[in-house]
Structure 1
Amino acid sequence: MALIYMRKAATSDIDAIMQVIDEAKALLKADGSTQWQDGHPDRDMLLEDIAKGFARVLIVDGDVAGTATLMTTDDPNYNEIEGAWQDTMDTYSTIHRIAISAKYRGMKLSKFFFTNLISDTYAQGIRHMRIDTHKLNKRMQHLAEEFGFEYTGIIYVPDAIDGKRLAYELSI
């Protein structure tokens, strides 16, 4: 069995994180999705996530096998929703920019990663989570629903091609 764990990302992880992100961009493009095809997430955005303590990496036998951003501050993109959030009063975390390296696809690591992100949120005393994804990102929709996230409506994010996103919420 491989040693698998999640930790906060460090600046020294940025090249490995960018490799994972670039592989995910290629996968999304191959799926016909415009998500992440406008240049983001980019290096500066991910370095900012690291500086704020939001970036996480999934480590498999010492290698960066995945990356995610676990925001624990309000996401301004979620202020307006076509639909309704279940909880508008409590603090929530948001999973953004999650991706698994092509080298590790098919190993069910996204489930391991999600479990760790949920546990990290819970350990911080936060009991609500949100996530959004493009309508063509069926992998992320399936994963979110598998973990009990409920579809709540449509939000819009800054994206030069198509900023419309399906929004999901989970109470833990």
Structure 2
Amino acid sequence: MRTRLARKHDLSSLMRIVRRVVPLMHAEGNFQWDDKYPNEAVFLDDIERRRLCIAEIEEEVAGVVALTTDPEPDYTQADWDITQPAVVVHRLAVDPLFRGAGVAKALMLEAERVAVAQGIFLIRTDTNKQNQATQRLFPALGYRFAGEISLRMRPGLRFFCYEKQLPQP
């Protein structure tokens, strides 16, 4: 498996992952994503800003993650000092064909590598309250639970926040 920045030619693979993942999310009661979000425009913006990473297995796109440093106003609800610089993980998804292959873990480790390369030693993320897989993944990777919040962009849903302090050299 290798990770790399996504490119425009990856868009069709990314949208295929979304089409495969959304029904599974909905079946588990997780309505964080739907047929409108995330969409090609969101991924294209991530690609153009060089903040979208993918994991490949045998040259197939197996997963995706967006890594930003933009402040998240809704995060003021969490148990965080939002004045601290952080890399924020968004749009983490694994193609169901590659579940169990360590793709999500590889993408989260890539987030840590990117953060340290930028001189940032804090990773933050949120996940839908119904997303059991990420609620197991994040603590297993050393993330601490930092509270429950709502997001203006997804009204009616609740999200759990996690963060990880990375070791400084």
- Fold shared, TM-score > 0.5 on shorter chain: yes
Identity %: 27
Letter in 1 for 2:20: E
Unaligned segments of structure 1, at least 5 residues: none
Letter in 2 for 1:130: R
Unaligned segments of structure 2, at least 5 residues: none
Partner of 1:8: 5
Letter in 2 for 1:12: H
Letter in 1 for 2:44: L
Letter in 2 for 1:46: F
- Give the secondary structure class of the aligned counterpart of 1:22: helix
Asked if the contact 2:85/2:120 (under 8 Å) is kept, the reply is yes
Pick from 95, 100, 112 the counterpart of residue 106 of structure 2: 112
Relative to the length of structure 1, the TM-score reads: 0.88
Letter in 2 for 1:77: D
Partner of 2:162: 168
Q: CA deviation at 1:163?
A: 3.3
Q: Distance in 2 between matches of 1:24 and 1:38?
A: 11
Asked if the contact 2:53/2:107 (under 8 Å) is kept, the reply is no
Asked if 1:152 is matched to 2:149, the reply is no
Partner of 1:129: 123
Q: Distance in 2 between matches of 1:22 and 1:72?
A: 27
Relative to the length of structure 2, the TM-score reads: 0.90
Q: CA deviation at 1:72?
A: 2.1
Pick from 17, 21, 28 the counterpart of residue 20 of structure 1: 17
Pick from 52, 59, 80 the counterpart of residue 62 of structure 1: 59
Asked if the contact 1:9/1:56 (under 8 Å) is kept, the reply is yes
Q: CA deviation at 1:38?
A: 6.1
Residues 96-129 of structure 1: CA distance to partner in whole angstroms, max 9, x if unpaired?
Answer: 1011112211222222222222122112211011
Q: Distance in 1 between matches of 2:67 and 2:136?
A: 19
Pick from 67, 82, 90 the counterpart of residue 96 of structure 1: 90
Q: Distance in 1 between matches of 2:31 and 2:104?
A: 21
Pick from 34, 58, 62 the counterpart of residue 37 of structure 1: 34
Alignment length (residue pairs): 165
Asked if the contact 2:111/2:123 (under 8 Å) is kept, the reply is no
Identify which range, 16-25 or 38-47, moves more after superposition: 38-47
Identify which range, 130-139 or 41-50, moves more after superposition: 41-50
Asked if the contact 1:28/1:34 (under 8 Å) is kept, the reply is yes
| Residues 84 and 17 (structure 1), Cα distance of their counterparts in 2 relative to 1, 3 Å cut | same
Letter in 1 for 2:79: A
Q: CA deviation at 1:132?
A: 0.3
Q: Distance in 1 between matches of 2:84 and 2:52?
A: 22
RMSD of the TM alignment (CA)? 1.6
Q: Distance in 2 between matches of 1:51 and 1:19?
A: 20
Letter in 2 for 1:143: L
